[in-house]
Amino acid sequence: MVPTRPVHEIRLGPVRAAIWANETEVGIRHSVTLERLYKDAEGRWKNTDSLDRNALLVAAKVLDLAHSWICLEGKGAESQDASVSTD
């Protein structure tokens, strides 16, 4: 079954991350989509996956918060995969 809504969203300023829960053979695995929101010339809200200079550090913080949510709140199999290799 494909999820129709994210299980969690994080937004800081114009940057939003949606966290999705995907059922697999080994349990729930999480994935994240990232977008930047902006208003077009007519004042309508739009979204893009392109980040401008001002959104880069905000995106890094949003992704950090998404990672923390998955590890702490999601309690999925991915929290076991969060170790970092220093090879």
Per-residue buried b or exposed e for 24-57, using 16+ beta carbons within 10 Å of the residue's own CB:
eeeebbbebebbbeeeeeeeeeeeeeebeeebee
pLDDT at 49: 96
The CA distance from 21 to 3, in Å, is 7
* Domain spans of the chain, in order of start: 8-78
| Confidence band for 2, pLDDT divided at 50, 70 and 90 | low
Question: What are the pLDDT digits (tens) for 62-83?
Answer: 999 999 999 998 664 444 444 4
pTM here? Answer: 0.78
Question: What are the pLDDT digits (tens) for 22-59?
Answer: 999 998 999 999 999 999 999 999 999 999 999 999 99
pLDDT at 4: 82
